[in-house]
Amino acid sequence: MRKLFYSMLCFTICLFMLPFVNPIVNATEEEEILAFPGAEGFGQYSKGGRGGEVYHVNSYELTGPGTFHDALTTAGDIPRTIVFDISGEIKIPQIIVRNKSNITIAGQTAPGDGVTIKGNNVRFIDSNDIVIRFMRFRLGKNDFQDDALYFEDSQNVIIDHSSFSWGTDENLSILSKDYDNPESKNITVQWSIISEGLLTHSMGGLIEMNTITMHHNLYAHNNDRNPKTKGQIDFVNNVIYNWGQYPYVAGGESGTKGYGNVVGNYFIAGVNSRNPEYAVVRGNENYSLFLENNRIDSNKNGILDGTDTGTKMMEVERPSVIVDKRFEYPLTNIEEPEKAYQHVLDYVGSSLVRDSVDQRVIHDVRNQTGAIIGHEEDVGGFPELEKGTAPKDTDRDGMPDEWELANGFDPNNPEDRNADKNGNGYTNLEEYLNELATSSFPKNYPMEPPVWTSDPFVPPEEDTEPEPDVEPEPLPVMDGEITKNLIINDNSSGGGQNARNWSIEENLQEGDLVAGDRDGYRFTDIPEELLGVEWIRSAVNSRSATSEDLVTFYLAADADVYVAHDARVSSKPEWLSSEYENTGQTIVDDQPVTFELYKKHYPAGSYVVMGPNNNSSRMNYFALIQPTSQEEPPNEVPKDLEGDIAVDEVSLNWSSVNDEELYLIYRSSSKDPSFRAIASTEESNYKDDTVELGVTYQYKISAINAGGESELSELTEIFFFDPNEPTPDTPAELTVTKTKSITVELKWKEVEDAISYGVFRTTEPDGEFKKVADTISPSYMDKPVDSSTTYYYKVSATSIGGESDMSNAVSTTTEEAIDLPEVPQGLSAGEITNSTFEINWDSIEEADNYDIYRKANEESEFSKIASTDSSNYKDESVSINHTGYSYKILAVNEMGESEFSEELNIDMIPPNTPSDLIVSLIGTDVVGLTWTSQGGANRYNVYRERNGEVEYIGYAKVDTYFDRTAEPGVHYTYYIKAENASGESEESNVVEVTPGYITVLKNYMQQYDQTGDITGPIVPQLTNTLKQVEHHVEKGSTTKAIKFLSKYKEQLTKEKNKEQISPLASTVLNHYAKSYMEELK
């Protein structure tokens, strides 16, 4: 009997320890029931875990049963509600929730002061029907950058009464991975706090793509993205305080469409707000904005006195497109901005029990205090949270026994959680969860959204009628001495431009630019035996390509091919690691980045294929080609090249040069006039099966051996067509559009199904017309031709069926010869700013236009940057990262180009002097500085004076800096100098400060005295006690200082003083007094 009793006891205990119970779904679900009373906006109908199982979080471990990690990652097909039996800080590893659905995270069930998720982030990807309530996600400073909470390609999500802070990338981000086909939709964020993103990447978050409601939220102390929006967004009754650089970002520098309602919000500038007059910034022509009844308080006077400035609160330089009608999105209960401001501050965040972080942020907003921070310790760090005890829940159904009994349920029957006692569509468990949240909404605030009967706004479809296929212009052929027909097949989003930034270079040397799309990286260390070799300069941005044939080329000699791959990429691509040998050698650039050298030997004629970089954030690889044979190249050129048409190929034959030689086959065509290597062969014949009907091809052959390549043979031309197909119509309406001294421009009517056109010419009225060119477009410029000469032209069309008859002839007589333009003179500088260099020169009568060439002082070669037909040019692409630029220009007409002008050097001007330097934060061993930049700087240098000695202590990229090397009790003087490549500005104004516990306590007391958080007799009492502490510390009497600190703490907590000090003031002052005592001890 006793054995049976123990067996039953063990079974019962094990049952209670299980984290969840199985569901029995028996509630009657009705269509479109709100996620909970008070849910509004696009995400209001999220189902969450309704009718499913219950998971109890009861472990503080990182992973395993009962952990928050396990609660999310083990969710399956059954809806799940997550409740908390524990409270306080829950440290997590990164949690990726992928392809999950129907989850409710019920933070309101946590006992004590609730829960705070810290240490890493949670990412929801491809998930739907997620409800999150009364949670805190505070990432904190780490050695990685990430969001506190992240949603990607997710639907039917509502986040309510939650707090997000201390993100190192964003605080809260919601986005679609593919903006052209957005998957995220029907999402609401309401009554939540998004605050204190940590510098240097202090961001509120991305709220992008696609249907998202944000109402009654607080953004505070974020430098940027408050939020950054794209797609369809309803932004209503939010409070935005102390943005740094950018408040509401309307699209940014993006071509993605945006349709935003910005209604009834309150924007309040703070100490860090760079442009306090603007609430909506970085708009563009793709972002349509409805702006109504907002307030902006930009004067930083500490008094809430915002006004509705209408469209004047939108950035002038980068406006959005203002529309006069609200976009029809699901309605929310819109309040006047002043009323919404009060309600937001009273009820926002995880507000059932506000921790001291949210209390402090709310206090900052009310009193217009506080600043953007760089570390959570700048404001006291993670607060201590009371860990309460969860109420007894015998059947583990998420409803406490006491509540079940009070509502007529059975505390031993877990199945009753999914019943619907009152028939309102919510399960009994939901009724309990909703009851917990009742006090979190303002009194008399409607618990249902307004009735909405309008047709929802649907973004207008862009013109999807397919454009006619246009043959892309072939890229210039890339040939080296050994490397032939280098082709870049970059399939990344910018692949076409990336391909243009690759090149074949000769004579590799230290100091050469590493990449074709970066002008700042140069080689500093190259193995001696590889100096002077031919090499392939890559584009860094091609690192995102996934093409298995990203790079292809032929070799005209035996060679060792080296691949230089970024050493920071630990996982090498398969094509490299399996085929190439790691030499142990490296090349280094000046970033510095080390490239590991891999090598493979290839014989002449080889077709080399290289794949992707296998990393999209590090440097892309590049290649070196080192010849390995001393043999002389062939001196005999292949002869007797002939071509014939077969059914689906062109057959080539030629006389062999030497039985030991190989051959490279080169081809050009009416679609691509450049000769490119397309194949190699050991035979004196070749069949080209890559030809297209209707195209004229020209072929040449070279002989190759281990040592190199011969000259190219004479060409043979083949027109490849199908005689069984009809020929194209004869081109009509041939006209001469322009005639000059050495150019004639022609155009004609496009012929249906034509692949290319032949252009024929003669100088005699009855002379024989000879082909001078092929072109794929119905126009052509014939250049050069003789001046003062009459020419006659005809054109034909070619298609898969052959060639048409020639058109009617047209004639024109070229003008008299002109001279080359003179060399431009008088090159001089005009207006010079940090962003624009103006140059002027004397006009030349014979010039049609002028080409402008530029070289930064740090660069070795000039490159063309523009052409203009005026004698003035404004270069708006100058960079403050260069010390200056040299310019030279040449004049151009149809005869050609003049010689270059003399060079004009213009130095970059120093940046403007920063102003308004203030101390924005004083800690025990940290000083926060904030200033106003005046433009032209790429960094701000911070100087500190101590005991008469000035030292440089660091720099900032934004208008805020935190000195974390400050020592308590030491008096410092600070000033700032702006810097760019030309040097530093003058000094800013100076500020003086003494960090330490005494200063921190004095400052908080002064602030709380001004805000009314401490009043009455306690103010002089605390002040006098703190003076005693300071006095004894200065005398070195630590024991007496601790005694008075203890008295200070007692004064803070005395029952009779509670009415004279707010809970926040008591908590903050007690925290620093306690920490000071511990340090003194």
pLDDT in tens, 583-623: 999 999 999 999 999 999 999 999 999 999 999 889 999 99
Tell me the CATH number at 118: 2.160.20.10
The lowest-confidence range among 58-67, 465-474, 537-546, 1007-1016 is 465-474
The pLDDT of residue 485 is: 97
The pLDDT of residue 660 is: 66
Q: Are residues 88 and 100 in the same domain?
A: yes
The pLDDT of residue 456 is: 95
The pLDDT of residue 1081 is: 84
The pLDDT of residue 471 is: 57
Domain boundary among 969, 993, 1017: 993
The answer to whether position 402 is within a domain reads: no
The per-residue pLDDT for range 846-893, each reduced to its tens digit, is 999 999 999 999 888 899 999 999 999 999 999 999 999 999 999 999
Q: Across the strands, what pairs with 189? A: 159, 214
Domain boundary among 379, 402, 421: 379
User: In sequence order, which ranges of 543-621 are alpha helices (DSSP H)?
Assistant: 574-579
The pLDDT of residue 659 is: 67
The answer to whether position 10 is within a domain reads: no
What string of DSSP letters covers 683-743? SSEEEE----TTEEEEEEEEEEETTEE-PPPPPEEEEE--TTSPPPPPP---EEEEE-SS-
Cα–Cα distance measured from residue 396 to residue 445, given in angstroms and rounded to the nearest whole number: 33
The answer to whether position 823 is within a domain reads: no
Q: Are residues 790 and 844 in the same domain?
A: no
- Is the per-residue pLDDT at 17 higher than 50? no
- Is the per-residue pLDDT at 266 higher than 80? yes
- Is the per-residue pLDDT at 712 higher than 50? yes
Q: Are 930 and 945 in contact (CB under 8 A)?
A: no
- Secondary structure of the chain: what % helix, strand, coil (to 5)? 15, 35, 50
The per-residue pLDDT for range 355-368, each reduced to its tens digit, is 999 999 999 999 99
Q: Are 1026 and 998 in contact (CB under 8 A)?
A: yes
Cα–Cα distance measured from residue 23 to residue 1032, given in angstroms and rounded to the nearest whole number: 66
- Is the per-residue pLDDT at 1022 higher than 70? yes
- Is the per-residue pLDDT at 470 higher than 80? no
The per-residue pLDDT for range 186-219, each reduced to its tens digit, is 999 999 999 999 998 899 999 998 899 999 999 9
Q: Are 769 and 796 in contact (CB under 8 A)?
A: no
The answer to whether position 465 is within a domain reads: no
Tell me the CATH number at 974: 2.60.40.10
Mean pLDDT of 991-1005: 94
The pLDDT of residue 6 is: 34
Q: Are residues 856 and 926 in the same domain?
A: no
Domain boundary among 942, 960, 993: 993
Q: Across the strands, what pairs with 158? A: 131, 188
- Is the per-residue pLDDT at 1035 higher than 60? yes
Tokens of 909: 């001007």
Q: Are 1078 and 1049 in contact (CB under 8 A)?
A: no
The per-residue pLDDT for range 81-102, each reduced to its tens digit, is 999 999 999 999 999 999 999 9
- Is the per-residue pLDDT at 21 higher than 90? no
The CA R_g of the chain, rounded to the nearest whole Å, is 37
Cα–Cα distance measured from residue 102 to residue 109, given in angstroms and rounded to the nearest whole number: 18
CA distances from 899 to 859, 872, 875, 902 (A): 21, 18, 21, 9
Q: Are residues 796 and 705 in the same domain?
A: no
CA distances from 690 to 649, 679, 801 (A): 7, 11, 18
Residues 6+ apart with CB under 8 A from 508: 523, 526, 530, 531, 532, 533, 534, 535, 624
User: Domain span at residue 487?
Assistant: 483-627
Mean pLDDT of 19-40: 64
Cα–Cα distance measured from residue 99 to residue 153, given in angstroms and rounded to the nearest whole number: 10
**pLDDT range class, residue 382, cuts 50, 70, 90:** very high
The per-residue pLDDT for range 424-443, each reduced to its tens digit, is 999 999 999 999 999 999 99
**Preceding peptide of 414 cis, ω within 30°:** no
Tokens of 167: 């993100």
Mean pLDDT of 728-734: 97
The pLDDT of residue 657 is: 87
Q: Are residues 236 and 356 in the same domain?
A: yes
The pLDDT of residue 372 is: 95
The pLDDT of residue 23 is: 37
The pLDDT of residue 149 is: 97
Residue with the bigger pLDDT between 105 and 476: it is 105
Q: Are residues 839 and 963 in the same domain?
A: no
Q: Are residues 170 and 266 in the same domain?
A: yes
Cα–Cα distance measured from residue 362 to residue 372, given in angstroms and rounded to the nearest whole number: 14
State the CB neighbour count (10 A cutoff) for residue 120. 19
The pLDDT of residue 31 is: 66
Cα–Cα distance measured from residue 345 to residue 991, given in angstroms and rounded to the nearest whole number: 33
The answer to whether position 239 is within a domain reads: yes
The pLDDT of residue 463 is: 59
Q: Are residues 41 and 145 in the same domain?
A: yes
The per-residue pLDDT for range 300-310, each reduced to its tens digit, is 999 999 999 99
The answer to whether position 160 is within a domain reads: yes
**Structurally, how many domains does the chain consist of?**
7
The answer to whether position 776 is within a domain reads: yes
Share of residues in the chain with pLDDT > 70 (%): 96
Q: Are residues 982 and 1001 in the same domain?
A: no
Q: In terms of Cα–Cα distance, which of 753, 663, 669 is closest to 709?
A: 663
Q: Are residues 839 and 899 in the same domain?
A: yes
Q: Are residues 45 and 128 in the same domain?
A: yes
**pLDDT range class, residue 469, cuts 50, 70, 90:** low
The pLDDT of residue 472 is: 64
Q: Are residues 800 and 870 in the same domain?
A: no
The per-residue pLDDT for range 500-532, each reduced to its tens digit, is 999 999 999 999 999 999 877 999 999 999 999
The per-residue pLDDT for range 306-353, each reduced to its tens digit, is 999 999 999 999 999 999 999 999 999 999 999 999 999 999 999 999
Task: Catalogue the active-site residues.
Answer: 225
Mean pLDDT of 718-727: 92
The pLDDT of residue 9 is: 33
**pLDDT range class, residue 3, cuts 50, 70, 90:** very low
Residues 6+ apart with CB under 8 A from 23: 51, 52, 53, 78, 79, 418
**pLDDT range class, residue 180, cuts 50, 70, 90:** confident
The pLDDT of residue 1077 is: 92
Mean pLDDT of 796-816: 95
The pLDDT of residue 585 is: 98
Tokens of 457: 């706004």
The pLDDT of residue 32 is: 86
The answer to whether position 436 is within a domain reads: no
Q: Coil, helix or strand for 996?
A: coil
- Is the per-residue pLDDT at 19 higher than 70? no
Q: Are 481 and 506 in contact (CB under 8 A)?
A: yes
